[in-house]
Amino acid sequence: MAAVPDAVDVAIVGAGTSGAAAARYFAERGAKVLCVERRALGEAGARWINGITRAALAEAEIELPRSARFGEPHPVHLVSDAGRVVVRTHDVIDADMRALVALLQEQALAAGATLVGETSVLGRDGDHLVTDAGRVRARWIVDASGLAGARLLDQPLVGTEHLCAAAQAVFEVRDLDAARAWFAAAGIPPGEIYARLGVAGGFSILNVRLHDGGRTVSVLTGSIPALGFPSGKAILDKLVRDQPWIGARVFGGQGAIPLRRPYDRLARANVALVGDAACQVFPAHGSGIGAGILAARLLADTLARGGTLRDYEVAWHRRWGGLFAAYDAFRRWNQTMAPAQLDDLMSDGVLDEAFARAGLDQTMPRLTLGALPPKARALRRRPGLVPGLARVAAQVVGAHVLSALYPHSERRRFSAWSRGMARVLAV
Ligand SMILES: Cc1cc2nc3c(=O)[nH]c(=O)nc-3n(C[C@H](O)[C@H](O)[C@H](O)COP(=O)(O)OP(=O)(O)OC[C@H]3O[C@@H](n4cnc5c(N)ncnc54)[C@H](O)[C@@H]3O)c2cc1C
């Protein structure tokens, strides 16, 4: 266990994507930074392939090395029992998180941050971070320790009905002809992405894609076991058992993803939350890489400009709170859907390519006037969707309005805001 310094400007808990990014951005802005990670540094954070938007990478000023990315965005076939939506163009690339974490840690070190692995944060004592290697005085403390981390703000536990159990792994392809035949049987052209929805409940996915010209296959799964469904790992294991063309596992992992909208409070006293620790995860598909990195950057920028942790909370909620709360409303409806309802959503253009693309790209869809008549006709044929859609539409509007009004003042106005948001979203 390495020694920790006595005092720093910023002490960061966790050296995964959010924490390593925070270490980099704070150090680049001239702060004296300590980042403490309980695993070995080379084992921190996500250790599998994740999708991330090129827009997030560009805004974060991250240039992924060629070896860490798996080509350009490929068409995605979203498939339910009887429905299909093909998203031909979108902004999501597959990236090796082991390489992204290593890159961010290298950039943090190069900017002058101190990173210490195999050291656990035990808690906070006023302006001291307490670790099992000693105490560190810090002007600011950043909790980037993920869902099961240090919980320095006693964040409420995430209800199990809002936890996605996900798994992702890369395997060798043992028999390329058989692999191609499997994709062809599902109607997926070579190299494109099979994303089967509703494999285990309304909010669940089996996403399969060939990499490296068919030498390897990447499988991503996720579901909500608390609703009575098999976990992402169980779905993945079953696919591998059932498909003899899938060979030896190369790498991968599994974990729980918080799907609930980000916490109303992202900071208190001298502590700020970023990443999964703040539930800054895009709820529609449990994507937290870009969100955590951009939150880390916003936090570092805000404090470097002389702002406060409160300014960070306000800026985050006003920019992203509405988007995340809106997609959380959709996610909560989606996870209650039976297969037939999912088919309805995926048929006749109710969920069309533009809407699905917006979801993948983590933006709000734009509903043009021209799109309204076909949508209205589609909904007349699928009346069972109308109550749920109407409720989500109202929640989307309410969430955006309230997020834009996230109050700068603490106490009474904030409590009223928080209650209002909970009422709008019915949670
Ligand atoms: C299988 C799977 C697939 C996913 N796919 C995608 C995807 O395609 N796209 C996407 O954007 N997101 C995806 N996600 C979500 C994404 O991986 C997370 O949102 C992201 O890793 C969160 O990053 P983080 O740095 O906030 O937290 P973490 O990655 O959890 O890192 C937290 C770090 O803090 C350390 N830590 C914890 N407690 C302490 C302590 N007390 N002291 C010191 N250190 C501590 C941990 O060891 C860890 O290294 C997926 C998740 C899973 C499980």
Which H or E element spans position 16? Answer: none
Pairing of strands 114-116, 33-36: parallel
Whole-number Cα distances in Å, 386 to 364, 367, 379, 380: 20, 17, 7, 9
Specify whether 224 is located in the same domain as 364.
no
- In this structure, is residue 336 part of a structural domain? yes
Query: Structural domain tally of the chain?
Result: 3
**How much is the pLDDT for 162?**
97
Specify whether 102 is located in the same domain as 58.
yes
Which residue's alpha carbon is nearest to atom 18 within ligand 1? 288
167 and 222 Cβ atoms separated by less than 8 Å:
yes
**How much is the pLDDT for 409?**
80
Specify whether 143 is located in the same domain as 272.
yes
Specify whether 184 is located in the same domain as 295.
no
Furthest CA-CA distance within the chain:
67
Specify whether 143 is located in the same domain as 19.
yes
Candidate of 17, 118, 218 to mutate for ligand 1, largest count of ligand atoms within 8 Å of Cβ: 17
Q: What is the extent of the structural domain holding 239?
A: 160-258
- In this structure, is residue 84 part of a structural domain? no
Q: Residue 138: which residues within 8 A CB-CB, separation 6 or more? A: 7, 8, 9, 10, 11, 34, 127, 128, 129, 270
Candidate of 54, 74, 145, 231 to mutate for ligand 1, largest count of ligand atoms within 8 Å of Cβ: 145
For residue 404, the tally of other CB atoms under 10 A from its CB is 12
**How much is the pLDDT for 410?**
73
**How much is the pLDDT for 244?**
98
- In this structure, is residue 63 part of a structural domain? yes
Specify whether 254 is located in the same domain as 264.
no
Q: pLDDT tens digit string along 265-301?
A: 999 999 999 999 999 999 999 999 999 999 999 999 9
Specify whether 266 is located in the same domain as 140.
yes
Specify whether 44 is located in the same domain as 166.
no
Question: Which atom of ligand 1 lies closest to the CA of 144?
Answer: 26
- In this structure, is residue 89 part of a structural domain? no
**How much is the pLDDT for 91?**
98
Residues with CB under 6 A from ligand 1: 13-19, 36-39, 44-46, 48, 50-52, 120-121, 144-146, 149-150, 166-168, 220, 254-255, 257, 275-276, 281, 286-290, 292
- In this structure, is residue 87 part of a structural domain? no
Within 335-411, residue ranges assigned H as helices are: 339-346, 353-361, 372-381, 386-404
Q: Pick from 211, 228, 258: which residue ends a domain?
A: 258
**How much is the pLDDT for 1?**
63
- In this structure, is residue 75 part of a structural domain? no
Specify whether 137 is located in the same domain as 18.
yes
Which residues, given as ranges, of the chain have pLDDT below 50?
A: none
Specify whether 124 is located in the same domain as 41.
yes
Specify whether 273 is located in the same domain as 137.
yes
Candidate of 54, 143, 151, 276 to mutate for ligand 1, largest count of ligand atoms within 8 Å of Cβ: 276
